[in-house]
Amino acid sequence: MIANEFAEVRVSRVETRNGARLLIESPKSGQWVTLCPLEAEALTWQNPQTFSAMIGNPYGPLIPEEDE
């Protein structure tokens, strides 16, 4: 568990049929995500503006879906 005055998340490793995943859970919101090693590594490729955009639009997509 890691937390500060803005957020609290629980981070753990889980085994799936497709290998190990990083499970990140937000107890307050009930939201969770599992990341494969490549997805977790992709977080390290991002710049601060990417994270600011995600925080500025919580629960929304970073890239809007196109109309079908």
Reading the chain (68 residues) residue by residue, the pLDDT tens digits are 999 999 999 999 999 999 999 999 999 999 999 999 999 999 999 999 999 999 999 888 888 888 65
Burial call 29-52: b when 16+ CB within 10 Å, e when fewer: eeeeebeeeeeeeeeeeeeeeeee
pTM: 0.83
- Per-residue DSSP letter, 13: E
Residues 6+ apart with CB under 8 A from 3: 9
Domain boundaries along the sequence of the chain: 2-47
